Amino acid sequence: MGSKRKPKLPASQGSTAVYALSEKDAPWVERFLQQLWLQEGVSEHTRQAYRRDLSALSQYLQQRGSHLLACEAETLHRFLQQRLEQGFHHRSNARCLSSLRRFFRMAREMAWCTQDPTAQVESPRASRSLPKTLTEADVEQLLAAVDIESALGLRDRAMLELMYASGLRVTELVTLPLAQVSLRQGVLRVIGKGNKERLVPMGEEAVQWLERYLQYARPELLNDRQHEALFVTQRAEPLTRQAFWYRIKYHGQQAGLSSSLSPHTLRHAFATHLLNHGADLRSLQMLLGHSDLSTTQIYTHVARERLKSLHQRHHPRG
């Protein structure tokens, strides 16, 4: 299937103007983001998140006549406290602090500065909210709501079936190359976060829908044109994350499901339903592409809540 190559480094998208980085901080932030890409192959979406967090602190410091590489722990404490007063949640502050830690850790390692102000700041403790998910009946209802008489409908059904069968992230799904799909073996070769590769089984149902899509819908959508992406639009281009979000939202409405339905909801359903049927956390971690088992453990809470609900509904003293 070819050797694994890093994608071309995306050009900066006007970060100093859009994200209000000071002139003094912008070059250091861009060096940091480039190093992240070189070391881990992070996506542009992740780069933007880091840039957003760093620019918030940069702007705060600039208003006080300072800059990132001169930031002190006390100033950082005040910055995080101000965010809470402005209405940011503890979880948002924890994520922001995580971005700042990565920056200052690299700044120390690269000798851009001599101190790491985040070393003296504790991460905010926030309760972990349970992921929103679907019941197995909800998933069946969603899949059945797709009109498979059209090429677009057949494509959408295949995409939804594959996402539910494999637990892919939406970015992994819409960027999946056809060459990394083995229908005969029933597996996908997925390049996930941090440019890490994993093999993911699809299951017979998803394989059958993919075969129908590849035989009938994809040729019609391409109309004698070529593209390496598995899932394509009528313009012979891969879907965007936003376009898939719109499609799953539309099919969810047709199925009469909650308006909060999103692509990630199917990933949560995949994980929760596997646990409910006896899967172990380590296997689930590998399938989801989580680098840390603690990330996967959130799903044990989901399964536990379901068991409590079942007990309350069916036990005579529930």
Which residues does the annotation mark as catalytic? 169, 193, 264, 267, 290, 299
Of 249, 247, 223, nearest to 158 by C-alpha is 247
Whether 202 contacts 166, CB under 8 Å = yes
Phi, psi of 34 (to 5 degrees): -70, -40
Q: Are strands 187-191 and 197-201 parallel, antiparallel or unpaired?
A: antiparallel
CA-only gyration radius of the chain, Å:
23
Half-sphere exposure of 220 (CA within 13 A, CB side): 12
Chain CA centroid to CA 233, Å: 22
Whether 41 contacts 6, CB under 8 Å = yes
Of 162, 171, 144, 160, nearest to 45 by C-alpha is 171
Distances from the Cα of 29 to the Cα of 24, 35, 109, 118, angstroms: 10, 10, 15, 16
The tokens for 117 are 């102000």
Please give the angle made by the CA atoms of 176, 179 and 183, to the nearest 5 degrees: 95
Residue 277's Cβ-count burial label (10 Å; 0-12, 13-18, 19+) is: exposed
